Structure 1
Amino acid sequence: MQTEIILRKAQQEDKDIIWSILQQAIARRKKDGSSQWQQGYPNEDTVETDITNGFGYVMTVDGVIAVYTALILNDEPAYSTIDGAWLSEGEFLVVHRVAVDERFAGQGMVKKLFDQIEDFTRSHGIPSIKVDTNFDNIAMLKILESKGYSYCGEVYLAGGIRKAYEKLIL
């Protein structure tokens, strides 16, 4: 049977599930020895704000929420100053707060998420995707490399320096 994978806007009723997934991801980052997400961000208010602003998205697998992310069009103030250079100057989609439910960990969900995000970006006529991650988030760094994202430099975000990547879609 074919698995149905859907990327959709998060709804208010998804909030508790999303927060649970983020808490799992925060704990995993800590267990992996990372400093990312260890200073009280993201938190429940972050989820609430994402959903209210229409930034929150979930990827479901056969109707079950497997992954959470925030997708934000053209709006990441930290990206205006980069130690390096972006590939493009035009519109872009920012990917933030990628978190996988532990029940789906190790199943390539983030790669599937990025496929979905690229389709979403293409279908909305947005020419590029920008994303940043912590220097010690080895799993995400490997995924970005495998999905063809180009390392553009470093940005200062959420109290730390992040590696910044971009992929031209159109």
Structure 2
Amino acid sequence: MSQHFQKANVTQSSEIWTILQQAIARRKADGSDQWQDGYPNPEVIQSDINKNAAYVLIEGQTIIGYCALLINDEPEYQNIEGQWITNDDFVVFHRVAISESQLGKGLAKKLMQFIEAFAINNNIYSIKADTNFDNHAMMAIFDSLGYVYCGEVYFRGTPRRAYEKVLEQKR
């Protein structure tokens, strides 16, 4: 069955929240502090949808993944302790989560490939992201997909590892 990536709508909020709740529980089970402070929550999803930043990975009629995508919209990234590779337009993604029933199928990587296509379709050749210091699975995905560690950024007072991937421009 093929998968596609599209903007989320308000009718999908509860499905998205279920997937995020599963991811929050997984992070806790992994002994991580990430997402254990009441964030993300249903209001965050609503805000993502209102800003046209909410995207879902769908297989058939089922939502199997979620992320928020923003263009040039992450104020905390201006305060990096380190240095970004580029200072051009960028896509930033947050809140990547895959449905519990779909784990181990490489869908986080697939989601990130859709994000790269989204960037290129918008003539943007930089993707920036961050993750918790204890989110080893995400760090491994960043490494495998060619992201470069650029330094630290802070969210809600907590340091996070910041990454950037520069995409190849088709000539």
Q: TM-score, normalised by structure 1?
A: 0.97
Deviating beyond 4 angstroms after TM superposition, the runs of 4 or more aligned structure 1 residues are none
Match of 1:157 among 155, 158, 163: 155
**Equivalent residues, number:** 168
Paired letter, 2:107: M
Q: Which runs of 5+ in 2 are unaligned?
A: none
Q: Secondary structure at the match of 1:54?
A: coil
Give the deviation of 1:85 after TM superposition: 0.4
In structure 2, how many angstroms separate the alpha carbons of the residues matched to 1:109 and 1:64?
Answer: 14
Give the deviation of 1:127 after TM superposition: 1.6
- Give the alignment of 1:124-139 within 5 angstroms: 124-139=122-137
Give the deviation of 1:166 after TM superposition: 0.3
In structure 2, how many angstroms separate the alpha carbons of the residues matched to 1:159 and 1:42?
Answer: 15
Q: Secondary structure at the match of 1:70?
A: strand
Q: Give % identity.
A: 49
Paired letter, 1:15: S
The equivalent residue for 2:16 is: 18
In structure 2, how many angstroms separate the alpha carbons of the residues matched to 1:60 and 1:158?
Answer: 31
In structure 1, how many angstroms separate the alpha carbons of the residues matched to 2:34 and 2:132?
Answer: 6
Deviations 1:53-73 (A, max 9, x none): 101000112231111000011
In structure 2, how many angstroms separate the alpha carbons of the residues matched to 1:122 and 1:4?
Answer: 21
- Give the alignment of 1:23-34 within 5 angstroms: 23-34=21-32
Q: Secondary structure at the match of 2:131?
A: strand
In structure 2, how many angstroms separate the alpha carbons of the residues matched to 1:111 and 1:10?
Answer: 19
Please report the RMSD computed on the Cα atoms of aligned residues, expressed in angstroms.
Answer: 0.8
Paired letter, 2:140: K
Q: TM-score, normalised by structure 2?
A: 0.96
Give the deviation of 1:131 after TM superposition: 0.3
Give the deviation of 1:5 after TM superposition: 1.3
Q: Secondary structure at the match of 2:101?
A: helix
